[in-house]
Amino acid sequence: MKGRLWLLIFAQQLLMLFVPLLALLAFFIWGLDLLSFQQFWDLKAFDLPLTAWLLAAIILIAAFYASIYSLQINQPYEDIQARLNWLVMGKYNHTIFSETNQKKGASNQMISLYQDIEDLRQKLIQLSSDIQEYSAAPTFVGQDTKEEIIEGERGRIARELHDSVSQDLFAATMMLSALNEGMDDLAPEKLKQAVARIDQVIARGQTEMRALLLHLRPVELRDRRLTEGLEQILKELQGRVPITINWQLDPSIRLDSGIEDHLFRIAQESISNTLRHAQASQLDVYLEASPDSVDLRVIDDGIGFDLEKLRNAGNYGLANIEERVKSLGGQLRIRTLPKQGTAIIISIPKTRPMQIERGTV
């Protein structure tokens, strides 16, 4: 669009410059009969034909004005596009929405468009606030329903224990039995390699077990802040799993207790998935506050995965994270490629000032 607009203005400017110039030349050549057309054609300046200088000047002037005019025309539309992009990303309080200088000199149509975008932003803020209040509100269920939920979660963890940890322990047992029977015939180097393989299988089972234990933690943070709860589980994992764990958690972050509980559970799920599936050597966890959102990032250098394939397979962990993020009116971005690691980025919009005390505004 920009290129076509520039060409259109450029063509208009060329026409506006050529027509008066040709009329002026015709007046001098045929009207006043001051010189012939051939004499004019033979005129030179700095060893170049005067017609070449005139043509170059006209093209440069037309290009200059085309650039100026197209920039003036495009600028309001680019600003509106930028505002829409920030709304799509959930950055409802970005500084661009506090800028009013774009409206100066704008047409009534553009001013109306700015107002429509501002109305849309206010509605999105209200909607996001309503979603967060609903998610943060306590949910009361009957004793039977509660027991069904607990039983379902126990069943899921039991299945995952059977499919992963139990298989690893069974494999380690079989390898130990085979090693015990053939130990006398093994050279020291072969024996060392066999023990290393068994150790690797057991270590994988331990990591899997610690990852599953994250799901048995209380969902609620009780009387702790989100940063305190995250720091506790990361410190407990550090040194107990074969992964280097780094974290940066902003202690100034204060949100409704229900929202913090959701973010805590999202972090648990993400960390658990990394420990169980990523085969990573490093895990980085960041909790940061920007002017208009709270951002949680869980990054590893593992094997990555095919996102679409995992979604189509109905992965429980990923679906759980997506559902929780949506319930908070947030944005979930997953950047991953096979053998290139994974970055899970969650942005929860701020719809009101950050709190000083838990549960209060």
> Are 174 and 252 within one domain?
no
Query: Which of 132-136, 195-199, 270-274 is least confident?
Result: 132-136
pLDDT of residue 346: 94
Domain hosting residue 83, numbered range:
2-133
Final residue before a domain boundary, out of 133, 167, 186: 133
Beta bridge partners of 299: 284, 343
Mean pLDDT for 203-214 is 62
* 39: pLDDT strictly greater than 50: yes
> Are 34 and 86 within one domain?
yes
* 255: pLDDT strictly greater than 80: yes
> Are 265 and 346 within one domain?
yes
Give the C-alpha separation, 230 to 265, whole Å: 10
Mean pLDDT for 88-109 is 69
Give the C-alpha separation, 254 to 129, whole Å: 15
Antiparallel, parallel or unpaired: β 44-45 and 282-290: unpaired
Confidence of residue 138 (pLDDT cuts 50, 70, 90): low
pLDDT of residue 283: 94
Confidence of residue 145 (pLDDT cuts 50, 70, 90): low
> Are 150 and 267 within one domain?
no
Mean pLDDT for 162-183 is 58
Give Cβ neighbours of residue 232 (< 8 Å, ≥ 6 apart).
Answer: 224
Give Cβ neighbours of residue 147 (< 8 Å, ≥ 6 apart).
Answer: none
> Are 225 and 333 within one domain?
yes
pLDDT of residue 355: 44
Q: Does the reported pTM lie above 0.75?
A: no
Q: Is residue 334 within 8 Å of residue 347, measured between CB atoms?
A: no
> Are 259 and 182 within one domain?
no
Mean pLDDT for 236-244 is 83
> Are 252 and 349 within one domain?
yes
Q: Domains in the chain: how many in total?
A: 3
* 137: pLDDT strictly greater than 90: no
Mean pLDDT, the chain, as a whole number? Answer: 73
Final residue before a domain boundary, out of 133, 165, 189: 133
Domain CATH code at residue 231? 3.30.565.10
Give the C-alpha separation, 272 to 209, whole Å: 10
Final residue before a domain boundary, out of 116, 133, 150: 133
pLDDT of residue 219: 46
